[in-house]
Amino acid sequence: QKLTSGNVPTQLYLSMAAALIGVAGNEVLAQYKISVGKRINSIPLIADGQHSRIDGLTSLAAFFGLIGVALGFPLADPIAGLIITVVILTVVYSTTRSVLQRLLDAVDPRLIPTIVTTTSEVPGVEAVNDPRARWVGHTLHVSLNIEVDPELTIANAHAIAEEVRHRLFHQIEGISEAIIHTDPASHGGDAHQLMAHHMQEAQRPLVQR
């Protein structure tokens, strides 16, 4: 409507001052919310920070539109509005996707390979099986099975599992629980063969020495 009506905003300088205040205030608020959200792994708080940033971008678009009007280009204001609409839709899409993924317990697709790599680097780990990860509130829960030398004592096998947990806590941000189940390594003809035909392909060893 503004593109065709020809209406020109009034009180340009007062409006520009208000727009700049809106930009500064909303950006400070956005930075704070996003920073805290990342620190506590809160996707909703990060999304709220993005909302505050959108408010700031809206004020910024209004500021540049008013500058255009002051320079004799009356269409600058509605054009700036159209541009910020596209930006808002892009941010809304990205934020909505992140929130829905968290609600569905989705994790970063790079996380599972990181878990497998970190675990397989621990001395004594001969195979890594069935790694899983999911968000529980603001924290990450991880579980996996490792295979170790069947000749090890229970104490030594437990020590390897604890070293795996220790490294995962250092390597993965946001983790609050890591359940490591220890199995004797499969070298053929052992008890693992009893369950082999029940295992899905995704549950077979991902790393095996």
Q: Mean per-residue pLDDT for 137-163?
A: 92
Question: Percent of the chain, pLDDT > 90?
Answer: 33
Q: Does position 194 have pLDDT exceeding 50, yes or no?
A: yes
| 201 pLDDT tier (thresholds 50, 70, 90) | low
Higher confidence at residue 26 or residue 101? 26
Higher confidence at residue 12 or residue 125? 125
Domain residue spans in the chain?
2-103, 111-208
Q: Note the pLDDT of residue 183.
A: 92
Q: Does position 144 have pLDDT exceeding 90, yes or no?
A: yes
End-to-end CA distance of the chain: 69
Q: In what order do the strands lie in the sheet with 207-208?
A: 175-184, 139-148, 127-136, 207-208
* Domain 111-208 in this protein, CATH class: alpha beta
Q: Note the pLDDT of residue 189.
A: 46
For 154-179, what is each residue's pLDDT tens digit? 999 999 999 999 999 999 888 889 99
Q: Note the pLDDT of residue 165.
A: 95
Q: Note the pLDDT of residue 64.
A: 84
For 36-87, what is each residue's pLDDT tens digit? 888 887 777 888 888 888 888 888 888 888 888 788 887 777 788 788 888 8
Q: Does position 102 have pLDDT exceeding 80, yes or no?
A: no
Q: Does position 31 have pLDDT exceeding 70, yes or no?
A: yes
Question: Percent of the chain, pLDDT > 70?
Answer: 84
Q: Mean per-residue pLDDT for 175-194?
A: 76
The set of long-range contacts for 88-91, using a CB threshold of 8 Å and a minimum separation of 24, is 88/54, 88/57, 88/58, 91/50, 91/53, 91/54
